[in-house]
């Protein structure tokens, strides 16, 4: 259970993690509680428990590779790790309760405003992100998509095997769950949400109590 899973499931349930001006949380609602209860209920039913390794690095990928996990929620970066498993597999856009919402992660390249070599650094940033060399490297490795809009170049990605349905990667972009970002207290907010979800997952708190506690604690951090 984690902050990253929860805000995505919230979006899939038509709910929001933060209010419109990002000064307080908005998840402690009937729909938010329903989303958390669904997430927590998966542990020990359709996904491993903490005792079985949930939360440790690559635990789910390893189980899938070993043939002990029938469905894996992950991202395009794992395609290479499971490319040579001795069974057939494919991908699909993750469904949602009231709407589809997929998590998205990206790498970013920035140039400091105080750099002594802004022009050279900017050229290097452009090379790393959109040069033909880097576009080819990213598409050949299959690790991630280059930040370009040229569909003729991106089309190469669709011709690769394993998985066959790479179109799902692009289809998932039609519904994105944007990570909740606050002006101050971002890491504290994430840590609190993780702690409270784990308390609920372990049965030490009800989901309602865990969300109420998370609401109070997070609001004190981001609104203080």
Which tens digits make up the pLDDT trace of 106-130? 888 899 999 999 999 999 999 988 8
Q: Which of 140, 154, 3 lies closest to 79, judged by CA?
A: 140
Give the pLDDT band of residue 58 (cuts 50, 70, 90). confident
> Given this structure, which CATH class describes domain 3-105+175-222?
alpha beta
How would DSSP label each residue in 120-163?
Answer: HHHHHHHHHHH-HHHHHHHHHH-SS--S---HHHHHHHHT--SS
Give the count of beta carbons closer than 10 Å to the beta carbon of residue 121.
Answer: 15
Q: Which residues of 182-209 are buried (b: 16+ CB within 10 A; e: fewer)?
A: beebeeebbebbbebbbbbbeeebebee
Cα 94 versus chain centre, distance: 12
Look at residue 155 in the predicted model and tell me its pLDDT: 84
Distance CA 224, CA 23 (A): 9
Give the pLDDT band of residue 55 (cuts 50, 70, 90). low
Q: Identify the DSSP state of 43.
A: B
Distance CA 196, CA 205 (A): 8
Yes or no: say if 190 and 6 are a contact pair by the CB < 8 Å rule: no
Where exactly are the structural domains of the chain? 3-105+175-222
Look at residue 52 in the predicted model and tell me its pLDDT: 67
| pTM of this structure | 0.83
């Amino acid at each position: 259970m984690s902050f990253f899973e929860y805000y995505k499931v919230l979006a899939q349930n038509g709910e929001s993690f933060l209010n419109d001006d990002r000064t307080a949380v908005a998840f402690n609602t009937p729909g938010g509680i329903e989303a958390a209860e669904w997430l927590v209920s998966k542990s020990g039913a359709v996904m491993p428990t903490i005792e079985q390794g949930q939360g440790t690095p690559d635990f789910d990928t390893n189980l899938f590779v070993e043939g002990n996990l029938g469905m894996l929620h992950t991202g395009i970066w794992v395609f290479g790790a499971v490319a040579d498993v001795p069974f057939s597999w494919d991908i699909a856009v993750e469904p949602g309760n009231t709407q589809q919402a997929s998590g998205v992660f990206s790498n970013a390249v920035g140039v400091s405003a105080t750099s002594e070599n802004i022009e050279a650094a900017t050229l290097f940033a452009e090379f790393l992100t959109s040069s033909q060399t880097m576009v080819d490297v990213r598409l050949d490795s299959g690790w991630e998509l280059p930040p370009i809009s040229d569909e003729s170049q991106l089309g190469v990605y669709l011709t690769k095997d394993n998985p066959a349905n790479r179109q799902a990667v692009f289809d998932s972009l039609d519904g994105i769950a944007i990570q909740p970002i606050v002006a101050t207290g971002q890491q504290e907010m994430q840590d609190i949400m993780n702690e409270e979800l784990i308390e609920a997952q372990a049965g030490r708190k009800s989901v309602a109590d865990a969300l109420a506690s998370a609401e109070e604690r997070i609001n004190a951090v981001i609104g203080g």
